[in-house]
Each structure stands twice: as structure tokens, then as C-alpha cells.
């Protein structure tokens, strides 16, 4: 539809949709000529650069399966994934060549390696050589722009495999089928109202659920990909101005980074810019801070197992008149299912009886339909467990409000049980986020001889503000929460995070356990 429009921008590089299509065809043909066959897996260890987008098209065009790797993983984790999904090739950015070399060193039968060199970022090139590696440009040069690709024989064939960061045990390979990827792509385009004039900035890693399927959604409307190798606030603001960016995605921590960017890095832009955030609910301060910068925030919710977002906190017109606090409270809810989601229930996970829409009764979010993964790769036990009763079990505990909006109360495993009472870690975190001196907060449980568990709060103070005192925070919580929900202990410092911006609560639980040994409980 738009052969001469710009499809991909990266630095000074610009590719039209025609040129992009040609390169994807060349990649597909080049991979086939290099011995990749139908059903083979191609792993990619790439930042948000044009080559990563090309892999999202060229690899499936070759009939192969795409396996995007999180660039922040350790060598042993990468080695595990490459072995588990039996990767036949690894396409790696030269910045990560050293990481890849170390990962490959752990493997008996390593995949062949194709190295990408980012022409726009010569400074990012590592000096590690991988023996026997081919250059990406040479793979493309060997492929024909006339290559005629064939669609998958079956729409339930696998298009990609993505490994969940898995806080316990080895990561699990989430298997995406073409049908689900197509429908979730359509869902993204419809929910965001994407059009041919959409200029989309890649602040969300493409290795995360194939960039929530936005990698594919832009093509269905003829919008524009604006690549971004590193998410630096100064670059985000500059591209917002230069490329008239009007859409981007990211975890709330990315938005926090923009809000706290130094004045010198900020730029004013004229266009409306829609920001879709997920991974964690956006606190009121983040919504307000983003609005002040000129962004409009919408909250999405989903999991890798649902191809990324499956619900949207649709902003209703009648919320306009509400106070920021009230509006933010509604916007932070996970919302209503995408039009492309088959069924979504909040229900008792065993009886499947839905909870009433009372905003109080907690159930598990259960999802079924085309936009749910096929299963975990070579892991029938975990697959069976995840799909018991015929529904995908999200592991998220939620309520349904009177207006039908779903709100997550906690991860099933993050709930703190103290003296027989459930404490939602999110509820306590929300209170802490409302404190002006708190930039971020995470609450976990710690074993307690009398109460079973007690909450511990980890807090990152707001930069440039007087750091909060522990007794201040305790009093602030006590004014707003039942006494048993007030954390026993407050620990200050940075929060450990996954590459997608989620707080690593497992690590905090370990720290809290250690902390508990040092400090007496101040239970009140």
C-alpha cells in the first residue's frame, strides 16, 4: 500500500517499505542459502535496530522460527536457551559478540553465527571476533530481492519462541503461532488507533514479546518505525521532535526515566504522543509527570504467554473532569480485554466460577483464545499446569470493578500472608508511590515466626529531594493502611530489575530474608 513511504528510520538511515521488503526477502533467501530450513530456529541477540525488524519478517519468510534473546541475559542463560530451542543460527550485534562468544563456549553443538554491524553506531562495535562467523551484509547480498516466500502451511505453525525471564528455575520457551501473532497484531493496530501517519519510537525492547507485536502492527497500517539502539532520555526527546514521534511503549520505569531526565535533555514537541505502558501499573505521579511533558499515557496488561498486551485501560471521556488522583486510580487498572482476545475471566482458578464485579472479591485472571501461546517448548508439564481446566492461568490475582475493568491486586506468588490476612504488595506500593520523596517502591514478604510473613519495603528515593526518613514513611503508611499492612522494615536504594523493567522480587525476598537476620522486627 505504501511502497515509497518511509518504513524504518535509524539515525540518518531511511528505508522505504519497498526497500525494507526487498531486504527482508534477501534475508529470507540468504538464510535458506546458508542452510536454514523450514522449522529451524534462528536466535537473535540484537538491540532495536533495523536488522532486528528485518529478522521479524525475513526469518518467518524463510519458514523458520524466530527466537529473540534478551540482550541483558548472562552467557550461561543464553547458552541454555540456544541449546533448549536447538538454535541453528544466531544473529548477533557486534556489541554483544563477546557475550555471544562466551555463551557459545558452553555449547557442544553451537549454532552458526551471523554478525550485524550497526552502520549508524560505529562506537557500539565490540572488537571480539567470532570464529567462522558470517557477516549479516553478506547473508543479505547472497539473497535475491525476487525471492518468492510462501506463507506457513498451517496457521498454527510456530512463528517465534520467547523465553520468560522466569524468577525460579530455567526460563520457559513460550511458543507463538502465526494465527495468534496475526490477531494480536491486528489488536494492537485497532486498540492504539495506529495509522499510516504513525511515527513509532522503539523504546520497548523488540525481544520482549516481539515488541508486543508492534514489530508487525506498523506494517499493517503503513506506519513508521523509529529505531533506538539505547533508551537514553536525550535521544527520546530529540527523536520526538525530529521524527515527530506520536507513539511509543515502555514499562513505567522507562517513563520515570523520562520524567527525571535533566532539563538539558528535554525537548518540547507539538504533536500528541501516545504512550502505552505495561509490565506494572503506572503510578499517579508517572501519569501526571508524563502529561506535563506532553505524553498521553494508557495502561496495557498482558504476559509473554498472551503475545504481550491482552487488556487495555481504555480512558473514558467522562473521566476528564476527575481529579488527577481519581483519574490515575482508574487509569492504573488493567482494564478491559482487547477486541481480539477470545475470553477473559477473573475467577476461582479451580472451580472457574467468576468473581462478582464488586471491586473486592479476588480471583485469578484466566484467558483463552487465539492470542494465547501454544504452550511451553518441550515442557509438557508446565504447559499442562498453565492450561488446567482449558484456560491459561496468568498467575495474577485481580478484582473486577462495577464498570467491568479488571484490576490486578497481586501476582499469586507476591501476595503476603500475615496472621492469616492477605496483604497485597501492590496496595502497599501504591501508598508508598504517593509519597513525594519516593520514586519507586517494592514490597515483599519475609518469614516471621509469629505472623507467618511480614512486609518489607524497598524504596528508591526521588532524586533532588530530601530523602525520606523511615519513621516518616511508616507514619505515612499508617495513615493510609490497616496497621497489619504497614511494612516492618524500610530499605533504601536502587531496585534490581529485569531487562523489561520489572522489579526482581525474588532477589528482594532473598535480601529481605538476609535483612531480617540483622534487624529486629519492629512489628506494631
Q: Which residues bind a copy of itself (CB under 8 A)?
A: 1-5, 186, 189-190, 193, 195-196, 220-221, 312, 314, 316-318, 336, 339, 403-404
Residue 2 or 484 with smaller CB distance to a copy of itself:
2
Which CB sits closer to a copy of itself, 180 or 501? 180
In whole angstroms, how close is the CB of 220 to a copy of itself at the nearest point? Answer: 5
Q: Minimum CB separation from a copy of itself for residue 342, in Å?
A: 9
* Residue 365, beta-bridge partner list: 346
Q: How many helices (H) and strands (E) does the chain have?
A: 16, 26
Distances (CA, A) of 138 to 87, 201, 270, 499: 20, 28, 42, 31
Beta strands in 317-412 (DSSP E): 336-337, 343-347, 363-368, 375-376, 392-400, 406-411
Sign of the torsion formed by the C-alpha atoms of 198, 199, 201 and 206: positive
E strands within 33-123?
41-45, 65-68, 87-93, 112-116
Q: How far apart are CA 64 and CA 159, in angstroms?
A: 7
For a copy of itself, the closer CB: 193 or 389: 193
* Sequence-ordered list of residues with C-beta below 8 angstroms from that of 195, at least 6 positions apart, any chain: 221, 223
CA gap 185, 63 in Å, rounded = 19
8 A C-beta contact, residue 333 and residue 406 = yes
> What is the smallest separation between the CB atom of 401 and a copy of itself, expressed in angstroms?
12
State in angstroms the smallest separation of the CB of 20 from a copy of itself: 15
Query: With respect to a copy of itself, which residue has the nearer C-beta, 63 or 337?
Result: 337
Q: How far is the CB of 340 from a copy of itself (least distance, A)?
A: 9
Q: What is the distance between the alpha carbons of residues 293 and 40, in angstroms, rounded to a whole number?
A: 45
Closest separation between CB of residue 297 and a copy of itself, Å? 17
- Residue 370 vs 462, nearer CB to a copy of itself: 370
Nearer to a copy of itself, 244 or 267 (CB): 244
Whichever of 148 and 524 has its CB closer to a copy of itself, that residue is 148
Shortest CB 402 distance to a copy of itself, Å: 11
Helix (H) or strand (E) holding 440: strand 438-448
- Whole-number minimum distance, CB 332 to a copy of itself, in Å? 17
Closer residue to a copy of itself in complex, CB, 49/406: 406
**Which neighbouring-strand residues pair with 448?**
452
**Contact yes or no for 185/220 (Cβ under 8 A):** yes
Contacts of 237 (CB under 8 A, 6+ apart): 258, 261, 265, 266, 267, 269
Q: How far is the CB of 515 from a copy of itself (least distance, A)?
A: 44
Distance CA 213, CA 145 (A): 25
Q: Minimal distance in Å, beta carbon 155 to a copy of itself? A: 10
Among candidate residues 27, 24, 4, the one with its CA nearest the CA of residue 14: 4
Nearer to a copy of itself, 60 or 487 (CB): 60
Question: d(Cα 44, Cα 73) in Å, to the nearest integer?
Answer: 13
CB of 318 to a copy of itself, least distance (A): 7
User: Which lies closer to a copy of itself via its Cβ, residue 186 or residue 255?
Assistant: 186
Residues in the chain: 524
Decide: 68 and 162 in contact? Cβ < 8 Å.
yes
Nearer to a copy of itself, 186 or 245 (CB): 186
Amino acid at each position: 500500500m505504501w511502497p515509497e513511504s518511509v518504513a524504518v528510520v535509524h539515525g540518518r538511515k531511511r528505508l522505504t517499505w519497498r526497500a525494507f521488503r526487498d531486504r527482508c526477502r534477501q534475508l529470507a533467501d540468504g538464510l535458506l542459502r546458508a542452510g536454514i530450513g523450514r522449522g529451524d530456529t534462528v536466535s537473535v541477540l540484537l538491540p532495536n535496530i533495523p536488522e532486528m525488524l528485518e529478522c521479524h519478517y525475513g526469518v518467518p519468510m524463510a519458514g523458520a522460527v524466530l527466537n529473540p534473546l534478551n540482550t541483558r541475559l548472562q552467557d550461561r542463560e543464553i547458552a541454555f536457551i540456544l541449546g533448549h530451542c536447538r538454535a541453528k543460527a544466531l544473529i548477533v550485534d557486534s556489541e554483544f559478540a563477546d557475550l555471544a562468544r562466551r555463551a557459545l563456549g558452553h555449547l557442544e553443538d553451537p549454532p552458526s553465527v551471523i554478525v550485524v554491524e550497526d552502520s549508524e553506531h560505529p562506537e557500539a562495535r565490540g572488537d571480539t571476533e567470532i570464529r567462522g562467523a558470517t557477516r549479516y551484509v553478506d547473508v543479505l547480498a547472497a539473497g535475491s530481492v525476487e525471492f518468492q516466500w510462501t506463507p506457513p502451511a498451517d496457521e498454527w505453525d510456530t512463528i517465534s519462541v520467547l523465553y520468560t525471564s522466569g524468577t525460579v528455575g530455567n526460563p520457559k520457551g513460550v511458543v507463538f503461532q502465526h494465527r495468534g501473532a496475526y490477531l494480536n497484531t491486528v489488536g494492537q493496530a485497532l486498540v492504539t488507533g495506529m495509522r499510516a501517519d504513525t511515527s513509532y519510537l522503539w523504546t520497548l525492547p523488540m525481544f520482549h514479546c516481539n515488541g508486543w507485536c508492534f514489530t508487525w502492527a506498523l506494517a499493517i497500517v503503513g506506519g513508521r518505525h523509529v529505531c533506538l539502539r539505547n533508551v537514553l532520555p536525550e535521544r527520546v526527546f530529540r527523536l520526538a521532535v525530529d521524527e515527530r514521534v506520536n507513539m511509543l511503549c515502555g514499562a513505567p520505569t522507562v517513563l520515570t526515566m523520562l520524567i527525571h531526565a535533566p532539563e538539558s535533555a528535554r525537548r518540547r514537541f507539538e504533536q500528541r504522543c501516545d504512550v502505552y505502558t505495561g509490565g506494572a501499573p503506572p503510578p499517579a505521579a508517572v501519569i501526571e509527570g508524563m502529561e506535563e511533558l506532553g505524553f498521553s499515557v494508557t495502561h496495557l496488561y498482558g504476559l509473554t504467554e498472551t503475545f504481550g498486551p491482552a487488556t487495555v485501560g481504555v480512558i473514558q471521556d467522562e473521566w476528564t473532569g476527575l481529579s488527577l488522583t481519581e483519574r490515575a486510580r482508574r487509569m492504573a487498572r488493567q482494564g478491559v480485554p482487547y477486541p481480539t482476545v477470545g475470553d477473559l475471566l477473573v475467577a476461582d482458578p479451580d472451580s472457574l466460577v467468576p468473581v462478582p464485579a464488586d471491586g473486592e472479591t479476588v480471583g485469578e485472571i484466566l484467558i483463552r483464545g487465539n492470542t494465547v501461546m501454544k504452550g511451553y517448548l518441550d515442557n509438557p508439564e508446565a504447559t499442562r499446569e498453565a492450561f488446567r481446566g482449558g484456560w491459561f492461568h496468568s498467575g495474577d490475582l485481580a478484582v473486577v470493578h462495577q464498570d467491568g475493568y479488571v484490576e490486578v491486586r497481586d501476582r499469586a506468588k507476591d501476595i503476603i500472608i500475615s496472621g492469616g490476612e492477605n496483604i497485597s504488595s501492590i496496595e502497599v506500593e501504591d501508598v508508598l508511590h504517593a509519597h513525594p520523596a519516593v520514586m519507586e517502591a517494592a514490597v515483599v514478604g519475609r518469614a516471621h515466626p509469629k505472623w507467618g510473613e511480614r512486609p518489607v519495603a524497598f524504596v528508591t528515593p526521588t532524586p533532588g529531594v530530601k530523602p525520606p526518613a523511615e519513621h516518616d514513611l511508616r507514619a505515612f503508611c499508617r495513615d493510609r493502611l490497616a496497621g497489619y499492612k504497614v511494612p516492618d522494615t524500610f530499605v533504601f536504594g536502587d531496585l534490581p530489575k529485569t531487562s523489561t523493567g520489572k522489579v526482581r522480587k525474588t532477589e528482594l525476598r532473598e535480601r529481605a530474608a538476609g535483612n531480617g537476620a540483622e534487624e529486629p522486627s519492629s512489628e506494631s
